[in-house]
């Protein structure tokens, strides 16, 4: 759910010099990978455009999962469908060695695409009881095409590695619930638990660049839903009521002191109230007010402090008004931890990536404040790396950096339009290199 990228931050990172990662990783030369990727690109481009034009929402990805299942079966993978409702797991065993997992997402977003591309989506679906347009405006179609291309490339190079490939296609990442659904459906009991795991994500940085970091790379995400309970009445006689709107208003402002006065200012943490629903008319004081929002953090201790502070502030707002305790639901609807990349995996993989693309095109980026349920896999103790692939024309990025320049459409924008070539090629080459490096690393 990469929905709040700092465009300037990422773009500056790929245009700046960066430290050299430790050398010594065993790699396969670009001369072996690039011709394979170039030779299959026409098929990958056709797959990408088909997926882009026919997106499906979370847990509705029947056609999408079917296409990917057919692609991997044709390569000789053992494919199991309907894992976690609409997910799939594909295994390819090539002798003794590590099990390496590569994840892609299947789902799109409930929004209208406005790119004007010849293969733009006009698909519609039911979402929360209403009809909505559907669009791949987060780049999951790029991920899927790169995922298929990586599987093909690794099989063409199977004399270069030993072990088990575990390619998973995860449903409903946008609701941060698909990874948990797969784990709850036996992902690590019905199938091997991986020794290493990888995932990539599009970013609106220049194509040809790969972004990485060790440690926290995305934020934890928790939902917030609070219902303040009052006593309704006429707006001309507030003394005869208990006004839930004033309670909610106090909470909206007071809860920010949890961020500014209780949390260490050096640590990241955000509390945002995005919806405030109460009342039907200006002269009626309602008997309830409902607030919804989101909570973001990187570190578990900051996350707990924010959750505790939000709960206390809500109770205090009601107590000040002499009202009943509010209903406080934190993280009930959607909650996921921060994606935390393993330092050793990152160090080895970055060295391999730089052998593929050159030092200047593999850059360290800052953690982002959006969230991703790939965290379910890192939380399961799997040494992992989640990295970024640029998908924007470098000229457009440079123009956006100028004073008064045209802003770039980023992930979740109706105008988000990745440049397929070379973005998909870079994705395949980067992920192939990452997996080959892991295959040559002893499992812990």
Binding site residues for Mn(2+), as ranges?
138, 140, 174, 201, 412
**How many alpha carbons lie under 13 Å from residue 393 in its C-beta half-sphere?**
8
Identify the burial level of 207 via C-beta atoms within 10 angstroms of its C-beta, where 0-12 means exposed, 13-18 middle and 19 or more buried.
buried
Whose CA is closest to 198, among 106, 103, 105, 107?
103
Identify the burial level of 395 via C-beta atoms within 10 angstroms of its C-beta, where 0-12 means exposed, 13-18 middle and 19 or more buried.
exposed
Q: Binding site membership: which residues?
A: 138, 140, 174, 201, 412
Is-contact 339 374, C-beta < 8 A?
A: yes
Give the sheet arrangement for strand 327-336, strand by strand: 269-278, 288-297, 220-229, 327-336
Is-contact 332 224, C-beta < 8 A?
A: no
What CA–CA distance (Å, rounded) separates 19 from 8?
Answer: 20
Whole-number Cα distances in Å, 347 to 10, 19, 46, 305, 359: 20, 11, 34, 32, 13
Length of the chain measured in residues: 444
Alpha helices in 119-188 (DSSP H): 140-156, 178-184
What CA–CA distance (Å, rounded) separates 273 from 276?
Answer: 8
Whose CA is closest to 423, among 71, 78, 132, 146?
146
How far is Cα of residue 240 from the mean position of the Cα atoms in its chain? 48
Is-contact 75 151, C-beta < 8 A?
A: yes
What CA–CA distance (Å, rounded) separates 295 from 155?
Answer: 42
Return the number of other C-beta atoms located less than 10 Å from residue 370's C-beta: 18
What CA–CA distance (Å, rounded) separates 325 from 322?
Answer: 9
């Amino acid at each position: 759910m990469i929905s709040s990228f700092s465009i300037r931050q990422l773009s500056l990172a790929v245009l700046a010099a960066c430290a050299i990662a430790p050398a010594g990783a065993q790699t396969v030369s670009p001369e072996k990978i690039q011709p394979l990727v170039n030779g299959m690109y026409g098929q990958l481009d056709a797959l990408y455009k088909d997926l882009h034009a026919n997106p499906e929402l979370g847990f509705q990805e029947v056609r999408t999962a079917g296409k990917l299942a057919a692609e991997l079966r044709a390569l000789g993978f053992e494919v199991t469908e309907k894992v976690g409702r609409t997910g799939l797991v594909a295994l390819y065993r090539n002798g003794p060695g590590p099990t390496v997992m590569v994840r892609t997402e299947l789902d799109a977003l409930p929004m209208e695409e406005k790119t004007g591309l010849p293969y733009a989506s006009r698909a519609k679906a039911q979402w929360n009881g209403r009809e909505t347009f559907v669009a791949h405006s987060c780049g999951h179609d790029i991920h899927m095409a790169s995922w298929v291309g990586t599987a093909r490339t690794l099989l063409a190079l199977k004399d270069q590695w030993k072990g088990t490939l575990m390619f998973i296609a995860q449903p409903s990442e946008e609701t941060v619930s698909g990874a948990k659904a797969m784990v709850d459906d036996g992902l690590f009991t019905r199938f091997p638990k991986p020794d290493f795991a990888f995932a990539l994500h599009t970013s609106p940085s220049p194509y040809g660049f790969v972004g990485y970091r060790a440690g926290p790379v995305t934020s934890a995400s928790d939902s917030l839903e609070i219902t303040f309970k009052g006593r309704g009445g006429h707006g001309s006689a507030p003394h005869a009521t208990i006004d839930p709107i004033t309670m909610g208003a106090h909470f909206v402002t007071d809860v920010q002191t949890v961020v500014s006065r209780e949390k260490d200012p050096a640590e990241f943490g955000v509390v945002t109230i995005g919806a405030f629903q109460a009342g039907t008319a200006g002269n009626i004081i309602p008997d309830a007010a409902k607030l919804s929002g989101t909570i973001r953090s990187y570190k578990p201790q900051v996350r707990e402090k924010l959750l505790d502070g939000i709960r206390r502030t809500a109770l205090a707002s009601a107590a000040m008004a002499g009202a009943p305790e509010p209903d406080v639901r934190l993280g009930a609807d959607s909650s996921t931890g921060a994606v935390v990349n393993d330092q050793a995996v990152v160090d080895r993989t970055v060295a391999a990536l730089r052998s593929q693309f050159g030092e200047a095109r593999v850059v360290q980026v800052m953690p982002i404040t959006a969230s991703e349920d790939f965290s379910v896999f890192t939380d399961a103790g799997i040494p992992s790396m989640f990295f970024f692939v640029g998908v924007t024309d470098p000229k457009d990025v440079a123009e956006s950096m100028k004073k008064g320049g045209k802003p770039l459409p980023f992930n979740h924008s109706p105008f988000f339009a990745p440049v397929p070539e070379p973005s998909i090629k870079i994705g395949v080459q980067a992920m192939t290199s990452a997996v080959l490096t892991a295959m040559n690393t002893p499992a812990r």
